[in-house]
């Protein structure tokens, strides 16, 4: 009952080898059949990605533009405030100089009057 199939040692070895190769063949990657629409789908996806990228670029450009406008408005406001401060300083300096000129004139007139009084 031991040798029903009439197989010898070499037959069993070759059967074992064939079984092992069949098992390994199951795990090997099989050649993939490419979908005929694959290239079209890839192109479509690439176009969609490009469109999304352009939208993001436009959004970023818009944000940069708005930020630049805000910065420009802030700088203009700061410049206007600085101009007001400078104008106030100039006005105060002119007023001080005017007072100084009037004081100088008054002192000069007083000296002149004193000299005239001494001469009489």
pTM: 0.43
Q: What angle do CA 25, 29, 35 make, to 5 degrees?
A: 135
Write the CA distances from 113 to 101, 102, 103, 108, 109, integer angstroms. Answer: 18, 16, 15, 9, 6
Give the whole-angstrom CA distance, residue 4 versus residue 7.
8
Alpha carbon dihedral 43, 45, 47, 52, in 10-degree steps, equals -170
SS3 assignment, position 68: helix
Q: Distance (Å, rounded) from C-alpha 8 to C-alpha 39?
A: 55
The CA-atom distances, in angstroms, between 47 and each of 20, 38, 39, 102 are 47, 14, 12, 81
Cα gap 19→8, rounded to integer Å:
17
pLDDT at 4 (0 to 100): 60
Q: What is the pLDDT along the chain (120 residues), one digit of tens a residue?
A: 455 666 788 888 999 999 999 999 888 887 777 777 888 898 999 999 999 999 999 999 999 999 999 999 999 999 999 999 999 999 999 888 887 888 888 888 999 999 888 887
- pLDDT of the residue at 2: 58
């Amino acid at each position: 009952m031991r040798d029903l199939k009439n197989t010898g040692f070499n037959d069993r070895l070759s059967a074992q080898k064939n079984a092992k190769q069949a098992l390994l063949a199951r795990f090997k990657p099989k050649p993939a059949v490419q979908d005929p629409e694959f290239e079209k789908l890839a192109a479509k996806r690439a176009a969609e990605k490009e469109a999304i990228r352009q939208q993001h670029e436009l959004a970023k450009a818009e944000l940069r533009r708005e930020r630049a406008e805000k910065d420009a408005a802030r700088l203009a406001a700061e410049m206007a405030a600085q101009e007001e401060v400078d104008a106030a300083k100039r006005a105060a300096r002119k007023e001080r100089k005017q007072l100084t000129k009037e004081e100088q004139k008054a002192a000069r007139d007083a000296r002149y009057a004193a000299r005239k009084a001494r001469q009489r």
